[in-house]
C-alpha cells in the first residue's frame, strides 16, 4: 500500500495544496473538483494531498471564481504548481516537481495518484517525467480522463461539429459555451485534448505505465444519440469510451480495470448547470469513491 494518495485536478481547475489536516479555511476546502473525494479519504484515515493547480502560471492563494475558496494555509511555489490550461507535458513537469517535494517534505517513498479529467493526463506525464527519480507511483486511478479525446478538444479540432449533437439541447448548449471558453482561456490544453492529438501522444507513452495498475472510470449521462462513437454517450466533456480508455493500445495501457457510471456527469459544474444532485458528479459520489477505494486496496 502506498504511503499516501495524491489527488490531481484537471483542465481549468483551481485547487489549493492541501494535506490531511490543512486546507482552505473558507469556501470549498480543496476546490470544486476534489473537496468531496479528499474529505472521504481523510475521514477514512487515509493520508491524502491535493496537488496545487491554477489557470495560468503562478501560485494558488485563493479562487475568487465559481464555488471557490480562500484562506489557504500553505502556498507552494509556482514551479510545483500545475498550469491547468497549459500543455500536458509542462503540467507533468510541475506535478513531478510537486511529487518530489512531497516526498522530501513529508517522507513519502510511494504514492497513489487519482486524477480527474486532464489530471489523469498530467499524472501520466508526471510518471514519465519522474522516471524513478522521486516517490514510486503504485497505482493510478482516472475519473473522466480524456484518454482518447474530449468533447471540447474534438470540437475545437473540427473532429465533431454541431451537427453531431443531433439536436440534443444539452449538448448544443455545451458546444455553444465550449468554443468561446477555449478561445478565452486555453494556453494549449484545448488543442491537446482532441482525439487526433492524444492518439499520437499516447503512442509516445508506451512503457510509461508498465507495472502500474490503472483504473479508468468513465461517465455518460448525455446519451441522446449513439454516433459518432467518440461523442456519445458523454459526461459533458468526455465520452464514456474515452473515459474508460477503451481504445488505448495495450502497449500504452497494459494493466487496466474499467468502470462505467452511465448516469453521471463530469463535474459539479455540470450537475449545477443541468439541475442534477451533486452526487451525480464523478468526484462527488460515494459510489464512485467505493470504486476508488477498491482500486487503491483501501
What pLDDT does 30 receive? 98
CATH number at residue 31: 3.40.50.1820
Q: Mind listing the pLDDT tens digit for each residue in 167-177?
A: 999 999 999 99
Whether pTM > 0.95 for this model: the answer is: yes
Residue 132 banded pLDDT, cuts 50, 70, 90: confident
**In this model, does residue 68 exceed pLDDT 90?**
yes
**With helix as H, strand as E and coil as C, how does the chain read?**
CCCEEEEECCCCCCECCECCCCCCCEECCCHHHHHHHHHHHHHCCCCEEECCEECCCCCCCCECCCCCEECCCCCCCHHHCEECCCCHHHHHHHHHHHHHHHHHHHCCCEEEEEEECHHHHHHHHHHHHHCCCCCEEEEEEEECCCECECHHHHHHCCCCCHHHHCCCHHHHHHHHHHHHHHHHHCCCCHHHHCHHHHHHHHHCCCCCCCCCCEEEEEECCECCCCCCCCCCCECCCCEHHHHCCCCCCCCCCCCEEEEEECCCECCHHHHHHCCCCHHHECCCCHHHHHHHHHHCCC
- Share of residues in the chain with pLDDT > 70 (%): 100
Contact between 10 and 114 (Cβ < 8 Å):
no
Q: Mind listing the pLDDT tens digit for each residue in 114-130?
A: 999 999 999 999 999 99
What pLDDT does 186 receive? 87
What pLDDT does 60 receive? 98
What pLDDT does 272 receive? 97
Q: Mind listing the pLDDT tens digit for each residue in 266-281?
A: 999 999 999 999 999 9
**In this model, does residue 240 exceed pLDDT 80?**
yes
Number of domains in the chain: 1
What pLDDT does 3 receive? 97
Q: What mean pLDDT is predicted for residues 96-108?
A: 97
| Domain region containing 78 | 4-295
**In this model, does residue 16 exceed pLDDT 90?**
yes
**In this model, does residue 298 exceed pLDDT 90?**
no
Mean pLDDT of the chain: 97
User: For 71-76, which contacts have Cβ atoms below 8 Å and span 24 or more sequence positions?
Assistant: 71/24, 71/25, 71/26, 72/16, 72/17, 72/24, 72/25, 73/22, 73/23, 73/24, 73/25, 74/17, 74/19, 74/22, 75/17, 76/17, 76/52, 76/101
What pLDDT does 226 receive? 94
Q: What is the Cα–Cα distance from 158 to 293, expressed in whole angstroms?
A: 38
Contact between 140 and 124 (Cβ < 8 Å):
yes
What pLDDT does 105 receive? 97
Residue 185 banded pLDDT, cuts 50, 70, 90: confident
What values do phi and psi take at 187, rounded to 5?
-115, 35
Q: Mind listing the pLDDT tens digit for each residue in 208-220?
A: 999 999 999 999 9
Q: What mean pLDDT is predicted for residues 28-41?
A: 98
What pLDDT does 184 receive? 87
Amino acid at each position: 500500500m502506498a504511503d499516501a494518495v495524491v489527488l490531481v485536478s484537471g483542465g481549468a481547475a483551481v485547487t489549493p495544496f492541501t494535506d490531511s489536516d490543512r486546507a482552505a479555511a473558507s469556501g470549498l476546502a480543496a476546490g470544486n473538483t476534489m473537496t468531496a473525494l479528499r474529505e472521504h479519504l481523510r475521514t477514512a484515515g487515509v493520508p491524502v494531498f491535493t496537488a496545487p493547480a491554477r489557470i495560468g502560471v503562478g501560485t494558488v492563494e485563493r479562487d475568487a471564481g465559481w464555488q471557490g475558496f480562500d484562506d489557504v494555509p500553505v502556498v507552494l511555489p509556482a514551479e510545483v504548481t500545475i498550469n491547468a490550461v497549459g500543455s500536458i507535458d509542462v503540467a507533468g513537469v510541475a506535478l513531478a516537481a510537486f511529487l518530489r517535494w512531497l516526498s522530501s517534505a513529508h517522507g513519502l517513498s510511494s504514492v497513489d495518484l487519482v486524477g480527474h479529467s486532464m489530471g489523469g493526463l498530467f499524472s501520466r506525464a508526471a510518471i514519465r517525467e519522474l522516471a524513478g527519480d522521486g516517490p514510486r507511483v503504485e497505482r493510478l486511478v482516472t475519473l473522466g480522463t480524456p484518454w482518447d479525446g474530449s468533447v471540447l478538444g474534438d470540437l475545437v479540432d473540427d473532429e465533431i461539429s454541431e451537427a453531431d449533437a443531433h439536436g440534443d439541447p444539452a449538448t448544443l448548449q455545451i458546444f455553444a459555451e465550449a468554443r468561446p471558453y477555449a478561445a478565452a482561456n486555453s494556453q494549449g490544453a484545448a488543442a491537446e485534448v482532441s482525439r487526433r492529438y492524444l492518439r499520437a501522444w499516447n503512442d509516445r507513452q508506451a512503457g510509461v505505465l508498465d507495472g502500474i495498475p490503472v483504473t479508468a472510470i468513465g461517465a455518460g449521462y448525455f446519451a441522446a444519440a449513439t454516433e459518432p462513437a467518440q461523442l456519445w454517450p458523454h459526461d459533458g466533456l468526455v465520452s464514456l469510451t474515452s473515459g474508460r480508455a477503451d481504445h488505448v493500445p495495450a502497449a500504452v495501457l497494459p494493466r487496466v480495470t474499467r468502470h462505467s457510471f452511465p448516469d453521471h456527469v463530469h463535474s459539479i459544474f455540470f450537475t449545477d448547470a443541468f439541475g442534477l444532485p451533486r452526487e451525480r458528479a464523478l468526484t462527488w459520489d460515494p459510489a464512485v469513491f467505493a470504486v476508488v477505494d477498491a482500486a487503491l486496496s483501501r
